[in-house]
Amino acid sequence: MNSKEFPVAPVLSEGDGRIVLFRPFVPRGAGEAVSNVLQTRWIGQGPKVEMFEKKFEELFSGNATKAISCGSGTDALHLAYMLAGVGAGDEVICPIFTCTATNLPAKYLGANLIFADINSETMNISVEDIRKKISSKTKAIVFVDYGGAPADLKELLKISKDYGIPLIEDAAHALGATHNGQPIGSIADYTIFSFQAIKHITTGDGGMLMIKDLEKVEKAKRLRWFGIDRNEKFNGIWENDITEVGYKYQMNDIAAAIGLCALEEFSEVLDLRKKLLSQYVTELSMIPNLKQISIDNINTHAAWLHTIVVDDPQKLQKFLFQFGIETGQVHFRNDRYTIFGGRVKNCPNMDLIEDHYLVLPLHTHMISADVTKVTSTISKYFEKNN
């Protein structure tokens, strides 16, 4: 589909009580931390990177998985696909509804993407549809925790065990989410997180790969850095041959310093986001005919997005814009993009919802009064149009 046919979300300038869709969270100590790094010999990958990885493991996997930091979440996904053994001609079952970054790295490797439908209540991947689309060529299953709500990990783990297929979890939305009391990041074979500008925490840009199989950690480190074993290189002798194609996917100490500061404040960040999400759910539940996505268990939710389903989201979007409230769709079904081969006809749940969802503002620069402004304005819209 031509990009000109995509609905255009108006961008709102800040100020005068306007509520924007996204706003980066920058921790209080970030400026000083970066300044301190700039006074050292390490501004590339140095000791701060390792410190950030270790702290991340403690907080988000209970040290059950190993953290490998990267320059972006997309880098981390590419590493995950490679470590899972995905190659040319392999099939990867993947979500039709996600950021394109989830699926593009499989294209780097020449894999064939098999789009799975959504669960209409969560907009996460449909486990029922996954089972229908598994074949002898299926090399991996990748899924997203949309908006911060964990996918159906109980069934996904069962599928993985039944068929011997590794799970790659794109948890870019789900930092701080849990499943059965376990942190997201400790469960799937490979889990990636994103520290892009508008995620829960940011390192300017960056990502993290969590690996369950510890035997693959050293390979991940080599692939992250040109195929070179850094420890051997730092011995100062020519004994470190390069035997595999590597990439420049490492994080640097400037980014890691920001990340470390953000981790110190993360509990406050998550608590605020959950409170705002809970308020949205309560206040919007008073509006008839308004459906909210992924609200069954906010305690396990990472509260990155709040998505609603309405008959005419563009009309509502324009109405909210008039009152200084920015909204958007954020992600589109990926088969709308030519690079993925064109529209598929076997994802009926996605077909039904694709023209009816809208994402509301949810970020750390909001307060309770902002949520009330959004929900009361939506209520006015429904009163006017019913």
Residues 102 and 142 in one domain: yes
- Per-residue confidence band for 11, with pLDDT thresholds at 50, 70 and 90: confident
Per-residue pLDDT of 169-193, as tens digits, reads: 999 999 999 999 999 999 999 999 9
Facing residues of 34 across strands?
Answer: none
Residues 229 and 350 in one domain: no
Residues 148 and 234 in one domain: yes
Grouping H, G, I as helix, E, B as strand and the rest as coil, residue 340 is helix
Number of separate domains in the chain: 2
Burial 239-277 (b: 16+ CB within 10 A, else e): ebeeeeebbebbbbbbbbbbbbbbbebbeebbebbbebb
User: Which of 210-214, 222-226, 265-269, 294-298 bottoms out in mean pLDDT, i.e. has the lowest?
Assistant: 294-298
Residue 1 has pLDDT above 50, yes or no: no
Per-residue pLDDT of 103-156, as tens digits, reads: 999 999 999 999 999 999 999 999 999 999 999 999 999 999 999 999 999 999
Residues 47 and 105 in one domain: yes
Helix or strand holding residue 100 (H, E): helix 100-108
Q: Can you tell me the distance from the alpha carbon of 188 to that of 210, in angstroms, rounded to the nearest whole number?
A: 9
Residues 140 and 37 in one domain: yes
> Which domain does 307 fall in, by range?
3-24+266-385
State the pLDDT at residue 113: 98
State the pLDDT at residue 9: 52
CATH number for the domain including 70? 3.40.640.10
CATH number for the domain including 349? 3.90.1150.10
Per-residue pLDDT of 310-327, as tens digits, reads: 999 999 999 999 999 999
Domain boundary among 212, 230, 264: 264
48 touches 279 (CB < 8 A)? no
Residues 224 and 115 in one domain: yes
Task: Sort residue 206 into left (φ over 0), alpha (ψ -120 to 50) or beta.
Answer: left
Per-residue pLDDT of 30-78, as tens digits, reads: 999 999 999 999 999 999 999 999 999 999 999 999 999 999 999 999 9
209 touches 200 (CB < 8 A)? no
Domain boundary among 246, 264, 282: 264
Residue 7 has pLDDT above 60, yes or no: no
- Per-residue confidence band for 215, with pLDDT thresholds at 50, 70 and 90: very high
Q: Which residue reads 């990340």 in tokens?
A: 259
**Mean pLDDT, rounded, for 70-95:** 98
Residues 218 and 333 in one domain: no
State the pLDDT at residue 125: 98
Residues 158 and 190 in one domain: yes
Residue 225 has pLDDT above 90, yes or no: yes
The chain-wide mean pLDDT, for the chain, equals: 94
At 163, list the tokens.
């068929």
Residue 265 has pLDDT above 90, yes or no: yes
Give, rounded to a whole angstrom, the gap between the first and last alpha carbons of the chain. 33
Residues 338 and 243 in one domain: no
Residues 346 and 312 in one domain: yes
Residue 12 has pLDDT above 80, yes or no: no
- Per-residue confidence band for 290, with pLDDT thresholds at 50, 70 and 90: very high
State the pLDDT at residue 369: 98
250 touches 270 (CB < 8 A)? no
Domain boundary among 264, 290, 324: 264
State the pLDDT at residue 10: 63
Burial 18-51 (b: 16+ CB within 10 A, else e): ebbbbbebbbebbeebbeebeeeeebebbebbee
- What angle do helix axes 100-108 and 73-83 make, rounded to 10 degrees? 50
Residues 258 and 192 in one domain: yes
pTM here is 0.94
**Mean pLDDT, rounded, for 25-33:** 96
Residue 240 has pLDDT above 80, yes or no: no
Q: Which residue reads 């699926």 in tokens?
A: 103
Q: How far is CA 236 from CA 114, 140, 241, 377, in A?
A: 46, 39, 13, 65
Residues 240 and 276 in one domain: no
